[in-house]
Every structure is written in C-alpha cells, then in structure tokens.
Amino acid sequence: DLVFRKPAEVKARYVYFTLADARKSITVNDDEIAEYYERNKDKYIDSEKKPKPLADVKDEVKKDLLDLRAERLGGDRATGFSVKLVHEPGTARPDFAKIAADSGVTPKETDFFSLRDSVPGVDASRQFNQAAFALGPDVPFSDPVRGENGYYVLEYIASHPSEIPPFDEIKQQVIDRLKEQRAYEATVKQGRELPGKVKQAVAG
C-alpha cells in the first residue's frame, strides 16, 4: 500500500515581494554610507585586521547598506500585505487578488504539490511548502515566508488527502513493480545457486 499511496497535496496562490523590486526604490547618500561604515568598520578589515579606509571600500559599504535596506523594505511590504488579509469574524473573506493588485504585485498559482515536491518558480521550497501545508479553509492566508530573494505570502486554494489511487490508474505501476521484484528474486536465486555449481564444476 505504501508503495502506491499518493501523498497529500495542496494548491496555493501566492505573491512574491522581491528584494530586487524593493531595492529600486531605495537611495543612499554619502552621509548614510559614512555612518554605516563607522558602525560596521570591523566588516571591512585588511590583512592586519585594521579597518580599510572608507574611500577604498565605499562601493562595498554602499552595496551592503542597500542590501540591508532592501531586506527590511521587502519584509515590511510583505508584512503590510499580510496584515490586510487578517480576517475579522463576521466579515467577508479578504480578496487576495484585489489586495495584490492594489499592492502592485501579481498573484501566481501553483499546481497541486506534495510536501516534498519542488514548486516551479519558487526559491524557498521547504519553507514555502511547510507554510502551504499549514493552511486550510479556516486559515487561508500565511504570514510572510522568506525566500532566497524576497518574501512570499500564500493563499490556500484546495487540497487532496493522501490516498491509494484506483487500481485502473496504477495498474501499469503494479505490473512494473512485480517485474522488478521477480527480476530481483531471480538474481538472488542465481547468486545463491552459483557457488554450488562452481563446486560441482571443480569436482568434475
């Protein structure tokens, strides 16, 4: 049964607040770069463990500062979006697609996938899948989920329980499995018989 059992599956809709998009709206000036450098000098040291002059590492400092702010802004945008999805008892369920459009992001929809599947286009497979499987009709929206390059927010669409499919659907799998099993058993039997045949040949 376990061999042919299909795992539970879920289908979700999601939006992705990328750090790249967040970064486009961020600018930093020389004063901010200098201030960040002063607070993080230990990150920019030379071979003698002394801080390098700001002039030598300014581009690196600027990149680090932009990355930090993009991370915060991406997280803030995802959090702000998820707050709009909070469902007050007695009110209509929030419209995920409408809120996404108002927030300037485009929802995408997955096919059905299992907990261990890799979801195409998603770069946070384990966290994304775990968040999706934690959802259901009573808890349809997720908190922000960190991906490699941003933050996801998910909406539950539907799910399939774990089940053994009808025999007609898996007939060929069953046949293939039996062939593999019999081939294996034949190989094992041949391996057991071989030493005896060798002894007989030597004795002869």
The one-digit pLDDT tens for each residue of the chain (204 residues) are: 545 678 899 999 999 999 999 999 999 999 999 999 999 999 999 999 999 999 999 999 999 999 999 999 999 999 999 999 998 878 888 999 999 999 999 999 999 999 999 999 999 879 999 999 999 999 999 999 999 999 999 999 999 998 776 667 657 666 777 787 777 777 777 777 776 665 666 665
The three-point CA angle 45-50-55 to 5° equals: 65
DSSP 110: -
Q: What is the pTM of this model?
A: 0.74
- Please give the Cα distance from 97 to 9 (Å, whole number): 22
Q: Which two tokens stand for residue 135?
A: 């959802």
Task: Please identify which residue in the block is written with the tokens 């659907």.
Answer: 169
Cβ count within 10 A of residue 85? 18
